[in-house]
């Protein structure tokens, strides 16, 4: 009974194959291929491929063996290969070849029908091939590259090979595609055991990758394309492979440069993964929204800038495929005040491209920071040589890769404000070929002019431009990085501190001091606070008390901008030059503060003898923006990067004037020619007049200024400010005397509603920690 059941089943299958012609759907899709669909049926075409046993008139189930002398045999069906796309996610741990590799020199195959000379039906009978079949198969089959154990470039993935072969075949005309399919079926019948004409490109490539390794699949495609005379398509496929290798190597280089970041300026060797530090930035378009004017005490009217709220953008929106299609803009200028996070935005964009999260319409992305370009300043060099020097893996690329439409290249020039060359867009020599050697300045001017790589995409970051850095007739888009919004401030500190308790302690500390909370819109300021808190936790333990003074952190911000960050843009200044610059800028800040003014006019720069480029670009203490006071009228104006920075610099000016010159700025009768007479006056006279002047201002415009002035008397601040002092400063009793003065004014209660600010002045002196928390 067991044998009879097997025979009946086999004959039923034969009947079905005689009566029915199985079809292969031509309506395939990439999604179907990814899902691993497509168990392809067999057609009866080509009797030399498939042999169906003749129906016997009757069955003899006697004791003897079944007579199989009239039976023909077909090739055994290949074992189903795993879907190639299902393996894509496991490429890093499992080799695709282990599942899809099929030996090209396979020996005898076996019939898929069972022999019935035993009950278990497991014995397979070798197929007997005719001599004509063997000769035809050997003569027609191309010899692809055999699979070896040689090194495979990591860029050769299932995903890439599928896409590369598919794109190449889709470029063929209908007739050439048919010829390719016919050749494929003719030369590789053991893999394509059904006519491939009914298979679309997706199914065809799907089947090819199931049966052969990645390298062999590419070689088979190239060989057959050559046989049908499509040498251009062979070159195209080869080009895709080269570009893929270069992109992979370039990505690895960029990973090493941008994947880790050093946040702590005091610990340059301590680097952290970028994703453990980066927090989303507030990027807007249009820009010209003016500086951040949020203030703890005063309500400052928007500074005649763009009063419309900017549209929130992300780094993935910069030169995205959608924006390119909609606006056809290939040049973007990103501006932002010092410390607002422009370079961090560039890092995010680069890493997103590497990790294929955005900008996948870009074939190659080349970050060319102006800090790196300075090495080519004194030599003749071409743009191509610059690229190949910074990224040696690009030497594999050919000239057509830089010129063709289907190979988009994005150049990211970070820090245009660090470039001190002359940007003369009218008289600079024109340059249209990226292979011509010339000076760096000519290359930069022509890139900004749009002369080089007119098919390329360009992103330039800069502090607010003082001079015109983009030609007036250049078609470009402008965006502005404005730092952190409130939720991102907390998120930043949660990322910087691994210990949740420490992160919560720092956030509570920031929230308890409103001015610090506001100023944390600058990522640089957040970084300085985090560095200081890390230092305190290391030295004093996790339960250490964080300082309550805001003056100390502002001093560190000013020093960071005027020293560490300035050196990339201008030569080092001597201590005397640095002090003179801060005194002039502080004098302007104090004058404007007393007048309730927050905009700086060009005449103001002339009055104090400061170059606006030094204040905006080099030192980063000021910013430039556009105002629109009237219809069709635009005006470039300046301001400090934040009103509290103006208040700090004003306090620094008053403080240093007293320390270095013995001059009390608040004494109206003081004349410069008599300043030597007042060098012996007491310190408390300065603070007494400052407190009285502040309390007399009902709008509180000198409140934060007064806090800074008292905070500068602390030992920690005096140590930081010592380079600006002409002599050593020792104030053994000033803290106690200043505290006594403030308490006296609070008891007098002559100024209603001003006691809170006086309490905060005590906080700056470090003598009223508990009361400050209560207030």
H/E segment holding residue 624: strand 622-630
Report the pLDDT value the prediction gives residue 729, as an integer from 0 to 100.
65
More confident residue, 472 or 82: 472
Report the pLDDT value the prediction gives residue 307, as an integer from 0 to 100.
58
pLDDT > 90? residue 352: yes
Report the pLDDT value the prediction gives residue 219, as an integer from 0 to 100.
94
pTM summary value: 0.78
Q: What is the pLDDT of residues 22-67, one digit of tens each?
A: 333 333 343 344 334 333 333 333 344 334 444 334 333 334 434 4
Which residue, chain included where needed, has tokens 């300026």?
265
CA–CA gap between residue 261 and residue 464 (Å, rounded): 25
Q: Which 3 state secondary structure label does DSSP give 20? A: coil
Read off the tokens for 112.
């898929």
pLDDT > 80? residue 303: no
pLDDT > 80? residue 230: yes
Report the pLDDT value the prediction gives residue 631, as an integer from 0 to 100.
66
Residue 537: band (very low, low, confident or very high) from pLDDT cuts 50, 70, 90 = very high
More confident residue, 163 or 75: 163
pLDDT > 80? residue 601: yes
Pairing of strands 457-462, 331-335: parallel
Q: Which of 97-101, 170-174, 546-550 has the lowest mean pLDDT?
A: 97-101
pLDDT > 60? residue 573: yes
Average pLDDT over residues 582-610: 92
Average pLDDT over residues 620-626: 91
Report the pLDDT value the prediction gives residue 43, as an integer from 0 to 100.
38
**DSSP E strand boundaries for 200-317:** 260-261, 272-273, 283-285, 311-313
More confident residue, 607 or 152: 607
Which residue, chain included where needed, has tokens 């560490």?
564
Which residue, chain included where needed, has tokens 């150049």?
411
Helices (H) and strands (E) in the chain, counts: 30, 11
Q: Which of 194-198, 273-277, 528-532, 730-734 has the lowest mean pLDDT?
A: 194-198
Handedness of CA 356, 362, 363, 368 (dihedral sign): negative
Q: What is the pLDDT of residues 440-480, one digit of tens each?
A: 999 999 999 988 888 899 999 999 988 888 888 888 998 99
Q: What is the pLDDT of residues 487-507, one digit of tens each?
A: 999 999 999 998 999 999 999
Report the pLDDT value the prediction gives residue 185, as an integer from 0 to 100.
85
**DSSP E strand boundaries for 487-540:** none
Report the pLDDT value the prediction gives residue 634, as an integer from 0 to 100.
75
H/E segment holding residue 593: helix 575-594
Q: Which of 389-398, 523-532, 567-576, 700-709 has the lowest mean pLDDT?
A: 567-576
Average pLDDT in the chain: 78
632, 693 contact by CB (below 8 A): no
Report the pLDDT value the prediction gives residue 137, as an integer from 0 to 100.
42
Residue 107: band (very low, low, confident or very high) from pLDDT cuts 50, 70, 90 = very low
Report the pLDDT value the prediction gives residue 326, as an integer from 0 to 100.
86
H/E segment holding residue 745: helix 734-748
According to the per-residue pLDDT averaged within each range, which of 648-652, 700-704, 756-760 is highest? 648-652
Q: What is the pLDDT of residues 147-165, one digit of tens each?
A: 444 568 889 999 999 999 9
Report the pLDDT value the prediction gives residue 198, as an integer from 0 to 100.
73
Q: What is the pLDDT of residues 402-423, one digit of tens each?
A: 988 889 999 999 999 999 889 9
Handedness of CA 693, 699, 702, 704 (dihedral sign): positive
pLDDT > 70? residue 139: no
pLDDT > 70? residue 588: yes
Average pLDDT over residues 207-224: 93
Handedness of CA 527, 528, 531, 533 (dihedral sign): negative
According to the per-residue pLDDT averaged within each range, which of 103-117, 279-293, 511-525 is highest? 511-525
Report the pLDDT value the prediction gives residue 29, as an integer from 0 to 100.
40
CA–CA gap between residue 756 and residue 742 (Å, rounded): 11
Report the pLDDT value the prediction gives residue 34, as an integer from 0 to 100.
38
Report the pLDDT value the prediction gives residue 263, as an integer from 0 to 100.
62
């Amino acid at each position: 009974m067991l044998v009879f059941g097997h025979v009946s089943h086999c004959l039923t299958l034969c009947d079905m194959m005689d009566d029915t012609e199985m079809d292969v759907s031509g309506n395939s899709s990439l999604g179907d291929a990814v899902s691993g669909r497509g168990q392809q049926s067999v057609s009866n075409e080509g009797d030399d491929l498939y042999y169906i046993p003749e129906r016997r008139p009757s069955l003899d189930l006697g004791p003897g063996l079944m007579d199989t002398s009239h039976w023909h045999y077909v090739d055994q069906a290949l074992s189903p290969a795993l879907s190639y796309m299902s393996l894509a996610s496991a490429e890093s741990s499992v080799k695709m070849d282990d599942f899809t590799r099929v030996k090209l020199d396979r020996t005898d195959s076996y019939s898929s029908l069972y022999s019935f000379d035993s009950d278990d039906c497991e014995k397979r009978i070798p197929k007997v091939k005719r001599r004509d079949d063997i000769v035809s198969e050997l003569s027609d089959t191309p010899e692809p590259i055999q699979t070896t154990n040689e090194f495979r470039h990591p860029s050769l993935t299932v995903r890439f090979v599928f896409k590369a072969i598919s794109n190449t075949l889709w470029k063929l005309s209908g007739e050439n595609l048919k010829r390719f399919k016919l050749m494929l079926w003719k030369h590789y019948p053991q893999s394509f055991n059904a006519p491939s004409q009914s298979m679309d490109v997706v199914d065809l490539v799907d089947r090819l990758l199931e049966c052969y390794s990645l390298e062999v699949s590419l070689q088979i495609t190239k060989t057959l394309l050559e046989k049908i005379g499509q040498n251009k398509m062979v070159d195209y496929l080869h080009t895709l492979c080269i570009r893929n290798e270069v992109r992979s190597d370039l990505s690895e280089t960029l990973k090493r440069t941008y994947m880790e970041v050093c946040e702590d300026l005091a610990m340059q060797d301590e680097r952290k993964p970028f994703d453990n530090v980066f927090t989303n930035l507030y990027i807007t378009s249009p820009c010209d929204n003016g500086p951040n004017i949020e203030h703890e005490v005063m309500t400052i009217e928007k500074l005649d800038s763009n009063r419309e709220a900017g549209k929130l953008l992300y780094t993935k929106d910069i030169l995205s495929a959608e924006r390119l299609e909609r606006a056809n803009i290939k040049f973007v200028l990103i501006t932002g005040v010092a410390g607002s996070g422009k370079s961090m935005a560039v890092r995010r964009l680069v890493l997103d491209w590497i990790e294929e999260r955005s900008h996948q319409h870009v074939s190659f992305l080349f970050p060319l920071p102006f800090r790196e370009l300075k090495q080519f300043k004194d030599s003749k060099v071409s743009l191509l040589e610059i690229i190949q020097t910074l990224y040696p893996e690009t030497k594999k690329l050919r000239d057509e890769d830089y010129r063709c439409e289907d190979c988009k290249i994005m150049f990211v020039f970070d820090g245009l404000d660090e470039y001190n060359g002359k940007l003369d867009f009218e008289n600079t020599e024109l340059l249209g070929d990226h292979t011509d050697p010339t000076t760096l300045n000519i290359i930069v001017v022509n890139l900004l002019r749009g002369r080089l790589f007119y098919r390329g995409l360009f992103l330039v970051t800069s502090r607010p431009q003082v001079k015109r850095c983009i030609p007036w007739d250049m078609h470009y888009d402008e965006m502005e990085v404005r730092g952190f919004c409130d939720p991102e401030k907390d998120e930043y500190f949660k990322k910087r501190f691994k210990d949740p308790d420490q992160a919560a302690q720092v956030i509570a500390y920031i929230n308890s001091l409103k001015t610090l909370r506001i100023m944390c819109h600058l990522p640089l300021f957040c970084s300085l606070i985090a560095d200081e808190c890390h230092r305190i936790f290391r030295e004093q333990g996790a339960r250490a008390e964080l300082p309550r003074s805001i003056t100390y952190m502002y001093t560190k911000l000013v020093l960071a901008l005027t020293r560490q960050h300035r050196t990339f843009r201008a030569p080092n200044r001597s201590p005397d030059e640095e002090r003179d610059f801060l005194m002039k800028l502080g004098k302007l800040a104090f004058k404007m503060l007393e007048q309730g003014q927050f905009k700086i006019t060009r005449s103001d720069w002339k009055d104090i003898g400061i170059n606006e480029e030094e204040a905006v670009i080099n030192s980063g203490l000021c910013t430039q923006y556009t105002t629109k006071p009237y219809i069709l009228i635009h005006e470039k104006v300046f301001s400090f990067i934040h009103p509290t920075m103006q208040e700090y610099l004003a306090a620094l000016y008053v403080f240093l004037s007293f320390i270095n010159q013995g001059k009390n700025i608040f004494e109206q009768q003081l004349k410069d020619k008599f300043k030597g007479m007042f060098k012996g006056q007491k310190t408390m006279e300065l603070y007494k007049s400052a407190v009285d002047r502040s309390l007399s201002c009902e709008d509180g415009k000198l409140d934060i200024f007064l806090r800074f002035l008292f905070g500068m008397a602390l030992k920690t601040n005096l140590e930081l400010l010592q380079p600006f002092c002409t002599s050593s400063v020792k104030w053994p009793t000033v803290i106690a005397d200043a505290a006594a003065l403030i308490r006296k004014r609070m008891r007098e209660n002559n100024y209603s509603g001003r006691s809170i600010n006086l309490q905060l002045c005590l906080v700056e002196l470090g003598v009223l920690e508990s009361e400050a928390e209560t207030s």
